[in-house]
């Protein structure tokens, strides 16, 4: 049986309509958490969340989860590519990721980023949640 280490959440928006920020082709931060992994070797880290996009049908976007506080392509541990499927309502995308190579460290930081077609808007809700446990 696993041992619970920590759980954290980052809620950037808890409702549709916010933040109302257009997407960019460059990855933009929408969630960051620091999980207390307590130097446990091979911790099990599960990350999940959602993000709402309002755009034209066929607009594309990419959600990336990075180990660390800044976007570094070499540190991406999860990538989701999505397509807006309707233009009259917010397209909410949920994701679940796992870091299968999490380091033994006192704390491990994870960040969630989004990029995409600039005709689409981050329309909420936006959340990023992580749970760490020991083997």
Question: Containing H/E element for 120?
Answer: none
User: Does the structure show a pLDDT above 90 at 1?
Assistant: no
What pLDDT, on the 0 to 100 scale, is given for residue 36? 97
Residue at 135 is within a domain: no
Residue 97's region, left for phi above 0, alpha for psi from -120 to 50, else beta, is beta
For the segment 119-132, what is each residue's pLDDT rounded down to a tens digit? 899 999 999 999 99
What gap in Å lies between CA 83 and CA 62, rounded to an integer? 9
- CATH number for position 76: 2.60.120.760
Structure confidence at residue 47 as a pLDDT band (50, 70, 90): very high
Pick from 57, 68, 58: which is nearest to 34 by CA?
68
The mean predicted confidence, pLDDT, of the chain is 94
Residue at 98 is within a domain: yes
What pLDDT, on the 0 to 100 scale, is given for residue 85? 85
């540190």: which residue's tokens? 75
Residue at 23 is within a domain: yes
For the segment 77-113, what is each residue's pLDDT rounded down to a tens digit? 999 999 998 777 888 999 999 998 899 999 999 999 9
Looking at the 3D structure of the chain, how many domains does it have? 1
What pLDDT, on the 0 to 100 scale, is given for residue 106? 97
CB 10 within 8 A of CB 32: yes
Range of the domain at 71: 3-130
């Amino acid at each position: 049986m696993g041992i619970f280490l920590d759980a954290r959440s980052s809620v950037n928006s808890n409702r549709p309509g916010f933040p109302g920020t257009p997407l960019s082709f460059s990855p933009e931060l929408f969630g960051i958490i620091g999980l207390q992994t307590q130097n446990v070797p091979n911790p099990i880290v599960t990350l999940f969340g959602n993000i709402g996009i309002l755009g034209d049908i066929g607009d594309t976007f990419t959600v990336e989860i990075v180990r660390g506080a800044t976007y570094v392509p070499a540190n991406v541990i999860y990538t989701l590519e999505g397509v807006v499927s309707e233009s009259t309502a917010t397209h909410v995308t949920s994701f679940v990721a796992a870091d299968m190579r999490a380091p033994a460290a006192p704390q491990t930081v994870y960040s969630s980023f989004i990029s995409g077609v600039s005709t689409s808007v981050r329309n909420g809700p936006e959340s990023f949640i992580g749970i760490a446990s020991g083997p």
